[in-house]
């Protein structure tokens, strides 16, 4: 709704992107996925994810270590009886892991010993963005095969590959399987910046991604819709539009 409000005021984005489930509204904004279909698919996505791993799993944020360090710690713990994976790369020193509760606890202990600033178990019970969700992702892909998608009218950046998705079939794959793929949000934001984008607007709810974007947009502006005036957003958007990345 906030995106449509901006569009109604003549603000046309050069790129759209969404972290995890945010990819669905991004696809709607670029007129590639119908709103009604998005709502139905998001509901199915949640049901499939929850039923696959109803308890004993989840996600944990690790702050203060880089990707190489986290992957090394995961390598010490991961196994058939202790699955744990890198799930989100949010910033240079902000990662999220997914897996069994016990495996994540072990990685957390190793991370603390390695100098991590914080370990925080997230309030989710599903191990998103890892191989544990391959089967439900395949089921979701089957549902997607019966839905019409169109070529994005606005450049859509995949949160998994950090690259533009140029046609409907690749978008279908990106949306269906993003639940079982690592989210590289750091690289996604960097790609937008490298391609000339200098205005980053985070749509509600929240402003967490704005803080992450400001680390990249050192010669630009990153702000959250809910913390800014509409007229200011419109003015900034029009100014950015005149530059055309």
Catalytic residues: 20, 129
Nearest to 12 by CA among 239, 242, 245, 237: 237
What distance in Å separates the CA atoms of residue 212 and residue 236, rounded to the nearest whole number? 20
What distance in Å separates the CA atoms of residue 134 and residue 158, rounded to the nearest whole number? 18
Tokens (6 digits) for 159: 């949160």
Q: For the chain, first and last CA: distance in Å?
A: 25
Cβ atoms of 140 and 48 within 8 Å: the answer is yes
> Using CA of residue 205, residue 206, residue 207, residue 208, what is the dihedral sign?
negative
Can you tell me which residue has the tokens 């019409």?
A: 148
Residue 56, phi-psi category: left (phi > 0), alpha (psi -120 to 50), beta (remainder): left
If you compute the radius of gyration of the chain from its CA atoms, what whole number of angstroms results? 18
């Amino acid at each position: 709704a906030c995106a449509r409000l901006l569009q109604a005021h003549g603000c046309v984005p050069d790129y759209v992107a969404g972290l995890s489930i945010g990819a669905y509204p991004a696809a709607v904004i670029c007129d590639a996925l119908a709103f009604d279909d998005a709502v139905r698919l998001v509901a199915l996505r949640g049901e499939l994810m929850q039923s696959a791993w109803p308890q004993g799993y989840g996600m944990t944020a690790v702050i203060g270590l880089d990707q190489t360090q986290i992957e090394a710690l995961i390598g010490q713990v991961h196994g058939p009886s202790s699955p744990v994976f890198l799930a989100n790369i949010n910033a240079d020193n902000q990662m999220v892991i997914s897996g069994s509760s016990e495996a994540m606890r072990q990685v957390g202990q190793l991370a603390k010993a390695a100098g991590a600033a914080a370990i925080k178990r997230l309030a989710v019970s599903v191990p998103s963005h890892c191989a544990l969700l391959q089967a439900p992702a395949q089921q979701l892909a089957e549902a997607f095969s019966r839905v019409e998608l169109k070529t994005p009218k606005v450049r859509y950046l995949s949160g998994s590959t950090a690259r533009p998705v140029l046609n409907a079939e690749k978008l279908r794959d990106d949306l269906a399987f993003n639940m079982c793929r690592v989210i590289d949000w750091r690289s996604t934001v960097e790609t937008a910046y490298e391609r000339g984008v200098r205005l980053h607007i985070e749509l509600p709810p929240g402003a967490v991604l704005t803080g992450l974007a400001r680390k990249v947009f050192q010669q630009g502006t990153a702000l959250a819709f809910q913390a800014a005036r509409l007229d200011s957003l419109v003015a900034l958007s029009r100014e950015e539009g005149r530059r055309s990345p």
